[in-house]
A and B are shown apart, each in its own frame.
Chain A
Amino acid sequence: MTYQLPFALQQTKDDFRALELHDRLQLLLEFSNELPKLPPRYAEHPGLFERVEECQSPVFIVVEVDVDKVVHVFATAPREAPTTRGFASILAQGLGGLTVDEILAVPDDYPSDLGLTEAVSPLRIRGMTGMLARVKRQVREKSAA
């Protein structure tokens, strides 16, 4: 059986790829504006977040795994870093609500496959690849217990 991306990730990829280069940036900006607000328990405790060093601008990510092995992803990045916010938003929206196994099965090169590489440059896409890797690592750690 061939691998099928989870629905939201597949839809994001299809949406980007259906657009011209410039419109892909606009869609990324929409994602950036939609980055969900942090729940109060994190908004007041930034120390619980892990910084993604691969990203040019500061972005922080934290993952929760609930009793049903469903994963919740929270991220925050400054307004002056819309590209980084957009990347975080794609992942938070696309991965949130998936199960541990579903997230670990997402290909590591998903960010390179969005059709954004040409629009934002390979170097910048690497930041999103780093974010995905960190989400997966946190998922592994937090589901092992």
Chain B
Amino acid sequence: MAVELDTATRFAEYAHPERLVSGEWLEAHLGTPGLVVVESDEDVLLYETGHITDAVKIDWHTDLNDPVERDYINGSGFAKLVGSKGITRDTTVVIYGDKNNWWAAYALWVFSLFGHKDVRLLDGGRAKWEAEGRTYTTDRESAPTVDYPVVERNDAPIRAYKDDVIAHLGNPLIDVRSPEEYSGERTTAPAYPEEGTLRAGHIPTAQSVPWAKAVAEDGGFKPLDALNTIYRTEAGLKDGDSVIAYCRIGERSSHTWFVLTHLLGFEGVRNYDGSWTEWGSAVRVPIVKGAQPGALPVR
């Protein structure tokens, strides 16, 4: 049984308000049977410094990525992971984290690859929770181990591989990296580690919409109006468009995937998680440098 929805009026205008909860709702529902709160951060130690009561920790790197191949864990790996966190197939999962839910959105997207039905974000993540004066505990993680069925990932609806992107050229692409990465001045986000990408620039015709444009000052999502201006008016997305978002390793673009899919209601949005670390090192793929989207290559 899914836990009741947050009917906060400020979420009602979004396409899928059931994907968000407020700090107020979460605080009132902590301890509700069928609810598991998951923290997912960029900093692997942040959870240990203090986390929401009874929250469990899932780390994007050490838990969700396959340790050998560049891919996500498989169905049995996921079943084992989330089962050990007290999550069943019917659990309502609420994810939150640092950096405006950057990594929380990534975890939510990975849960979606496995078709987990009821997975929501805490609007504003850690920053808003703290700003609202809500508390943390440093209790060590404890969750009952439960059975989660082995369900294989279904990548196709929401995940794009490199060949999918090549086939997609001519349809809208959203590059969510910083302007410097988009133009090709650099291959990493300012102040982020170099991940060994060989070429700099962007995929031809991609619109530059840095992911954090969707975030309000308090760390929550901007209202629908503002999001429509950014993605429809400025980036030119139209209903019915097939859209692929990408960044450097697919995490910032999961945030944009969430905005386009669950807040604006676009269908069939895919996240290209290979992103620039793959495209920028691949042989014979087209690249455009500079601040303009550029034209489609003629082959």
Residues of A within 8 A of B (CB): 25-26, 28-29, 32, 51, 53-58, 79-84, 86, 118-121, 123-124, 126-127, 130
Contact = CB atoms under 8 A, between A and B. Distances in A.
Contacts of B44: 25, 83, 119-121, 124
Contacts of A80: 43, 46, 98
Main secondary structure of the interface of A (DSSP, over half): helix
Interface of B: 42-46, 48-49, 59, 61-62, 98, 191-195
Contact of B62 (A32, A55, A120): A120
A25 B191 contact: no
A82 B194 contact: no
Contacts of B195: 123
Contacts, number: 61
Contact of A29 (B42, B49, B194): B49
A78 B43 CA distance: 12
Contact of B49 (A58, A82, A126): A82
Contacts of B194: 54
Nearest to B49: A82
B248 to A, nearest CB: 12
Given A120-B44, A124-B61, 20 more contacts: A25-B44, A25-B48, A26-B48, A29-B48, A29-B49, A53-B191, A54-B194, A55-B191, A56-B43, A56-B191, A56-B193, A79-B49, A80-B46, A81-B46, A82-B48, A83-B43, A83-B45, A121-B44, A123-B61, A127-B193
Of A28, A124, A130, chain B has the most CB atoms within 10 Å of the CB of A124
Of A56, A58, A86, A118, chain B has the most CB atoms within 10 Å of the CB of A56
Main secondary structure of the interface of B (DSSP, over half): loop
A118 B192 CA distance: 20
A82 B42 contact: no
Contacts of A26: 48
A127 B194 CA distance: 10
Nearest to B195: A123
A114 to B, nearest CB: 14
A56 B61 contact: no
